[in-house]
Every structure is written in C-alpha cells, then in structure tokens.
Chains A and B, each alone.
Chain A
Amino acid sequence: MSVESLIFEKGAPGRRAATMPAMDVPTELLEDLIPASLLREKPAALPEVSEIEVVRHYTHLSQRNFGVETGFYPLGSCTMKYNPKINEDMAALPGFAHIHPLQPVQDAQGAIQLMFELERYLAEISSMTRVTLQPSAGAHGELTGLMLIKAYHQSKGQGHRNLVLIPDNAHGTNPASATLADYKAVEVQSDDTTGGIDMGHLKTLLEAHGDHVAAIMLTNPNTLGLFDANIAEIGRQIHAVGGQLYYDGANANAVLGITRPGDMGFDVVHFNLHKTCSTPHGGGGPGAGPIGVKAHLVPFLPGPLPAKNAEGYYWEDAGPQSIGKVRANLGNFGGLVRAYTYIRSNGPDGLRHVSESAILNANYLRQGLSSDYEIAYPHICQHEFVATARKQKEEHGVTATDIAKRLLDYGMYAPTVYFPLIVPEAMMIEPTETETRESLDSFISVMKTIAEEARTNPEIVKTAPHTTVIGRLDQALAARKPNLRWNPGQEVTHS
C-alpha cells in the first residue's frame, strides 16, 4: 500500500464533483452583504476534485484504520469496547434519530421515557438515588460531580474544604478535574504490596488535613486492575472527617451486577457509557458521562430531569439549589439510546456475565504472559492487569514502546503503555469480555514470540514496526517540533 497523498494534493484546477444549476433568483454582491474587511482577498485553497477521487481518498484512509472490528485490541473498555450492532439499529430508529431537543414533550414521549428508564437502570446498577444524563463524557462527569460536592459543602457551611485526595495510580483526569473545580489535588500513596490505598498514608493525611478534605476520588478496581478490599474502611474514614467519596467509573466493566459503588460507600459515581455500556466515542467524541448521586446530593443536580405523571413523561425543572445545566440540551442522546439498548439486550444476568467474562479473560492473559513478562502486582486481577517490560529493558534494552510497536507487525493493536505512572515500563492489558479463547491464545503466543525476539534479536523489536505503511516515527521530534498544518504551495515530502 502506498502513502496516501493529502486531498489537497489531488485533483486539478477547476475540477468539480457537482455542477450547480443556473441561478434563477436575483444575485446580490458579496461586498454589499459583508464588510470588505472581513472578505478574503483571494479564494480559499480548497481541494478541486471529482466525486470518485473524494470517495477513493477517504475509502483508502478508512482502510488504514485498526480497531476492535479489525483485530485484537488490548486497550479494552479503557478506550472503547466492542459496540454491538443492535445498538446502531435502535439509534437509527426514526423516532430517535430524527428527533429535535426542543420538540414538544407530547411528541417526544418515547425519547423521554428512554431517558427516564435509563436513569433508573444506571441508578440500580450503581446503587445511587438519582442520575443526570447531561455530562458529555467521563471527565465532564468528574467536574460535574465535584461541583455537586462543592455545592453540598457550601450548603453545610463547609465551603472552606479545598482538598481532593487522589491516589498516585489514578487516571490523570482526576487531578485535572479537581483543579478545574478549584480544588487542590493531594496525592495518596498506594500500598506496594496490595496496589490499593496505603492506609497509613491516608490516616496521616486525614489527621493533618481532615477538616479541609472535600472528597476522595477513587477508581475501584483501580488502574492496576485490583479491587481495593479496604474500600469500606476508606469510606468510613473519609465520611468521619466530613468528606465525600467520588467513584471514577472508568473501570466499571469489572463490577456490573457483582458489586455497586453505592454499596461500597460512594456518594457520587460517573459512568463512561462509551466504555462500560458499549457506545462509540471515536475521534474524541461524542461520549456520554452520566453521574449518579446519593440522596443528600440530589437537590444540587443539574436539571431538568425526566419525570412521569398520570399524563405521561415530562421534564421536571431543577430545584433552587441546583448547580445549573452542564450541557446544552439533554445530553448526548444517541449515546444514551445505545447504552439503553446495551443494558436491555443484556439484562441483569447478562451484565453480570459481561463483567465475569472480562475478569476471566484478563486473568487468562495475565497467567499466560507471566512466564515471559513481570506482572506488576501478581494477584488475581479484575478486568485488566499491568505487565511490565522492566526485565526486557534491563536485559536487552527493549522497552514497552518497542513491544507495543512490534505488536503492530503481528496484526494486533498495542495495549496502553507507560500508565499507570507508578509502574515502570508499564503495559496495561485489558482484553474485555468479547474476545474468544482463540484470540486470547493468539495474543499470548505473539507476546511470547516478542519476548523471545527481545532475547535473541532485540534490534527487530527496537526498530518495529516493519510491516505497516509507515514505520517507526520520531515521536520526540514530532512533539518537540510539531508541524501539523499543510500550507498551500508547501513542498510535501514523505520520508
């Protein structure tokens, strides 16, 4: 396959995909409608191409994509798990696909019913009282949740609480959201043996700063794929000093139908519907990050919330203590339809089976890789685990990046590397529930081959990939001197 040139480099001057009919209304001069200072001096340098050139160009680009629909993809639900096709069928129903957010409620009963029921399903799954479907994605849910916590503390005369505790293995969005919500993020160390919260360090922090702690943000199971068995005690200690517990739902793929954040003691939870509930979020959006809260936080929720009376479904305005809307309209409705479909098509037993299979698959891989790669915390894991290339780096100079690149040569995607930050040369592997035993075996076999290559022929790993259209890129140069924009007339070079 050759390098695909840019759409701007294709075509010829004057070439068009469509011919416009002759003008049959009076023309107005552009200069009469728009101030001269805002008009271009020369036409924009747009591509001039035929329809078939456009179609071929984008078809070629699409064939370069690698995703869970083309092969094994150990980024798992962390990025986006497989999206069942029935979700698309439901989202394409005209009553959902062609609806307008400002349509009168009597014409949108089905859509409001779907949101009303989805809210209740999510509340049941997480053991929360109410849910807002508005936030656009996980980090937006985090920010919204922290704003609720802040509003709650202020209502109690506790507005001075300014600290949010966050473990050292947390997702980077947690401290970012805390900062955005005008809190100071304070790192809690993790326990070297269990991978959970270091209870001694937590105690020290609470003794020193307890009356300033607004909340703790936890992911359970955490980013090491380990369930923190101390969660009930952590909850008790945080609540005892007047703080709140925030559940980062990014790893909810491990707990569906097995345990619930609300039962663990959490006050707020966000869902990444695009992770756990199999909705798409390609290219940075559109995701969906509903949050659920316990009763004491309900008065602060954004509104409106879907409601039901004898006449049917309607929108109930937020109360006087609400933090206000956090998104235009009512959330990413297309994502909500898909999540609803996922929950209904699996049912309660099916959802539990999703998590059980995800956990089984992860442990199968963990065991299968453990003779060739160090496992950072060699316990039974949940839906994911963290292997490390520490040994390969020390002995053969082969890093996690090199292994990730070499996987591409074998037709598989790379796992998350260099995260969580507390594990050197980390490779976070999450197969999800949908992989077959054959695909898991195939991944183990490829990883064993790469480990063998690291011993016998490390150069082939260090210079990978070799079979892709573009080989190893200079990622440091790309970050140091980013050159991302095509300029008309600029010489285009492909190295």
Chain B
Amino acid sequence: MASLNHPGDLKYSKTDEWVRVEGDEVVIGITDYAQDQLGDIVYVELPWESGENIAFEGKFGDIESVKATSELMSPLSGDVIGSNEELKEHPEYINDYPYEKGWMVRLKLSDPSQLDNLLNADQYLEYLQGR
C-alpha cells in the first residue's frame, strides 16, 4: 500500500475511481490501488460516443485484466463529453499512468452536489487500510 500513489488534488470514490474536477466538468479514472488489485489491464470498454448519459453509481464501462473482468461504476452522474480513445490501443496506460494517460471519461456534471460524497486522498487511504 505504501508504494501506491494517491495524489492530494483528486477526489476518490469507495468503488476506487478518482475524479479530477475542472469547472463543471470532471475527468474520471481508476486509482493506483484499483489498477494494482486488477493486475495487467488487457482491455477496456468505455462510452466511445459523446452525449451518453451516465447515472449516479451507474455502469460506464467494463475493464478486463489478466485476472478478471469488472464493471466500471461512475461515482457521479453526467453526460459524456469524451473518452480516452488511446486506451483502445494502450490499455497498459491504466497500469502505468493511472492519473495521466490512463484517464477514462470526461463528464459534464448534472449534479455537482454529488462531489460532496467523494473522499479526499487521506480519507481514501484510511478507507483502503480498513478494507
């Protein structure tokens, strides 16, 4: 756990997504802890078409590692502005750069108050240690 990186300027969900707030938009990916647990990511399915509405705690994609396939759950609701097309060819970015080149979707928030439910880095780390 100590070697994992959870930047202080991001928000986190208990389902292991990180959120970077940029005005009324957010960028979402999965945390360093999540990618470490999943192991080598081999495939990711994201909402490739813009405009799709993602529900609060709704599914926004699937992620497959050498161990298992999991659903990606959104900690926020909003409309998809874009998804990281580079992950089609380079799913390993999620392992190697979870907070930069491994970002997944950009949403336009439909309810910014949902951000209040998210954890900060210290709270997330504490949550992980209690798991």
* Chain A residues proximal to chain B, CB less than 8 Å: 418-419, 421, 424, 475-476, 479-480
Contacts and interface: CB of A to CB of B under 8 A. Distances in A.
B68 interface: yes
B68 A479 contact: no
B40 interface: yes
Nearest to B67: A418
Contacts of B40: 475-476, 479
B67 A476 contact: no
Given A476-B92, A479-B43, A480-B42, A424 B66 contact: no
Interface in B19-56: 37, 40-43
B85 to A, nearest CB: 16
B92 A418 contact: no
Given A480-B43, A480-B91, A480-B92, A424 B68 contact: no
A418 B64 CA distance: 13
Nearest to A474: B40
A419 B41 CA distance: 17
A461 B42 CA distance: 23
Nearest to B95: A476
B37 A476 contact: no
Residue of A418, A475, A479 contacting most chain B CB atoms (<10 Å): A479
B42 A476 contact: yes
A326 to B, nearest CB: 27
7 contacts: A419-B68, A424-B37, A475-B40, A475-B66, A476-B42, A476-B92, A479-B64
A421 B42 contact: no
Contacts of A480: 42-43, 91-92
Contacts of B68: 418-419, 421
Contacts, number: 21
A385 B105 CA distance: 39
Given A418-B68, A419-B68, A476-B92, 12 more contacts: A418-B67, A424-B37, A475-B40, A475-B66, A476-B40, A476-B42, A479-B40, A479-B42, A479-B43, A479-B64, A479-B66, A480-B91
Q: Which 6 A-B pairs have the closest CB atoms?
A: A476-B40, A479-B42, A418-B67, A480-B42, A475-B66, A476-B66
A476 B42 CA distance: 6
Contacts of B37: 424
Contacts of A421: 68
Contacts of A424: 37
A176 to B, nearest CB: 11
A187 to B, nearest CB: 10
Contacts of A479: 40, 42-43, 64, 66
A479 B63 CA distance: 13
B43 to A, nearest CB: 7
A22 to B, nearest CB: 55
A253 to B, nearest CB: 24
Contacts of A475: 40, 66
Interface in B95-121: none
A421 B64 CA distance: 13
B67 to A, nearest CB: 4
B99 to A, nearest CB: 20
A172 to B, nearest CB: 8
B41 to A, nearest CB: 8
A428 to B, nearest CB: 13
Interface in B51-94: 64, 66-68, 91-92
A418 B39 CA distance: 11
A171 B127 CA distance: 29
A479 B66 CA distance: 8
A476 B37 CA distance: 15
Interface string B6-25: 00000000000000000000
A476 B94 CA distance: 13
A418 B66 CA distance: 10
B55 to A, nearest CB: 15
Nearest to B42: A479
Contacts of A476: 40-42, 66, 92
A475 B41 CA distance: 10
A347 B37 CA distance: 46
B46 to A, nearest CB: 16
A475 B66 CA distance: 7
B73 to A, nearest CB: 12
A185 B91 CA distance: 28
Contacts of A418: 67-68
